[in-house]
Amino acid sequence: MRTRRLHAVPAAPAAQPRPESTADEPLWRHLLGARLRRLRTDRGQTLTETAQRAGISPQYLSEIERGIKEPSSEMIAAVAGALGVTLLDLTVAVARELSGLRTTAEHQLVWNVPRVLAMAA
């Protein structure tokens, strides 16, 4: 009978810290939640009304709006539909907001580099 040798499996490498450039970048779920809350309040709807239309609990909708939960695309589509917007329009609006924030952050970085270099000198 042959004897099999068992080999140790190396541990997974430790997670690398996120690069500095994205450390302050907001998460998608935070921007999505803020956008959904804005749409809901602009339409004069309560959490309960929108949640009922979307078929979810008011507590879950509140967690989505606060950026606590990472909803599935089906949930996002349900809430978007309850607010009278398409999933595409909602996604584009959030992506544009994220893009605008990144552009603003990059602009601030470019304008602050000379000042930082002058302070270091």
Paired tokens of 58: 């008011």
- The SS3 of residue 77 is helix
**pLDDT value of residue 66:** 97
Q: How many CB atoms lie within 10 A of CB 64?
A: 23
Q: How many CB atoms lie within 10 A of CB 41?
A: 13
Distance between start and end Cα atoms, the chain: 74
Q: Which of 63 and 110 is assigned the larger pLDDT?
A: 63
Rounded to 5 degrees, φ, ψ at 2 are -85, 140
DSSP secondary structure letter of residue 69: S
Fold of 26-120: 434 Repressor (Amino-terminal Domain) (1.10.260)
What are the pLDDT digits (tens) for 35-91? Answer: 999 999 999 999 999 999 999 999 999 999 999 999 999 999 999 999 999 999 999
What are the pLDDT digits (tens) for 8-45? Answer: 556 656 555 545 445 578 899 999 999 999 999 999 99
Residue 7's pLDDT band (cuts 50, 70, 90): low
